[in-house]
Structure 1
Amino acid sequence: MMTIGTAQIASTAAPSAFFARWADMATWPEWNADTEWVRLDGPFEAGSTGVLKPKGGPKTKFVIAELADDRFVDVSRLVGARMTFSHFVEGTPGGGTKVQVIVTLAGPLSHLWNLILGKGIKATLQRDLESLRAVTEVSSTRSLA
């Protein structure tokens, strides 16, 4: 397995606000500039599957591999490899959240997929996480008002 990118942010929004954003997959293009659309074929829970369409790329099937109070892990199935996005959340003493995302590739063709996708994901991962923080904090502020 190889790590192709990591990103981390701190936010004033609660951990639950991030899970609410991740669960609303149809809105992912609002904060993920590389995603054209996402469709979840069931509830936001471990084992549910879906399809996402990256901008300029083919549709990709994924599964929610893990969902717990402190993490959300989705795995995209590529030919000869699996790309895993692991999202970790940790509440902070002030009521905010630390969020970390780690993207890994595994499988016999992972080196090929790293050449194809790795540079782009690594270049945009931090930006996308910062955009997620922005929309999450705005939503959290509105819900408190």
Structure 2
Amino acid sequence: MMTLGTAQISSSVAPAAFFAHWADTAAWPEWSADTEWVRLDGPFAQGTTGVLKPKGGPKTKFVITVLTEREFTDVSQLPGAKLTFRHQVDVDETGATVVRVTASLTGPMTWMWNKILGKGIATTVPRDLNGLKAAAEAKAEVAA
């Protein structure tokens, strides 16, 4: 496995708020600057497939492989490799919500996909996570 990018943020917003934003795939472009659109073929649930269109890139199919109260993982099958985005939410000892996102590659063509995607994903993972944090906190302020 090769890690392409990873990021972590802390927030006072409850973990469920982050899952609500992930589940609203139509709104991903609002906080993910490199995403043109996302469509799910069913509910936001383990096993559901979907398609993501990155800005300037080809449509990419993915499947939600893990969905628990603490983790959301989606996997895209690339020729010769799998691209995995793992989203984890925890609450630390102070009561703050901690969100981690890690993008990784596995498979025999990992080296090639790293050259194609590596720098871009390393840049977008922290930027998108900060965008998600801003969206979740703004929505929480409006609700308060």
The bucket for the TM-score relative to the shorter chain is: over 0.9
Distance 1:94 1:24 in 2: 28
Does residue 48 of the first structure (1) align with residue 34 of the second (2)?
no
SS at match of 1:101: strand
| Aligned equivalents of 1:39, 1:137: Cα separation in 2 | 24
Q: Which residue does the alignment assign to 1:143?
A: 143
* TM-score with structure 1 setting the length: 0.95
Aligned-partner Cα distance in 2 for 1:77–1:33: 22
Residue matched to 1:5: 5
- Percent identity between the two aligned chains: 60
Measured in 1, the distance between the counterparts of 2:43 and 2:5 equals 28
Between the aligned partners of 1:27 and 1:49, the Cα distance in structure 2 is 17
Q: 2: distance between equivalents of 1:8 and 1:58?
A: 27
Superposed CA RMSD: 1.0
**Residues 74-85 of structure 1: matches in 2 within 5 Å?**
74-85=74-85
Alignment pair present for 1:103 and 2:103: yes
Provide the rounded CA distance (Å) in 2 between the counterparts of 1:99 and 1:55. Answer: 24
Alignment gaps of 5+ in structure 1: none
Letter matched to residue 29 of structure 1: P
Q: Report if aligned partners of 2:52, 2:61 keep a CA contact under 8 Å in 1.
A: yes
Report the Cα distance in structure 2 between the residues aligned to 1:36 and 1:96, rounded to whole angstroms. 31
Deviation at 1:93, TM superposition (A): 4.7
The count of aligned residue pairs is 144
Runs of 4+ with >2 A deviation: 92-96
Alignment partners' CA distance in 1, 2:28 and 2:94 = 27
- 1:40-74 CA deviation, whole Å, 9 max, x = no partner? 11011100000000111100000000001111000
TM-score of the superposed pair, with normalisation by structure 2: 0.96
Deviations 1:21-49 (A, max 9, x none): 00000000011111110001101110000
User: Residue 52 of structure 1 contacts residue 61 of structure 1 at CA under 8 Å; is this kept in 2?
Assistant: yes
* Cα distance in structure 1, aligned partners of 2:68 and 2:79: 28
Tell me which amino acid in the other structure corresponds to 1:124. T
Identify unmatched segments of 5+ residues in structure 2.
none
Q: Helix, strand or coil: the match of 2:140?
A: helix
Matched to 1:32, the amino acid is S
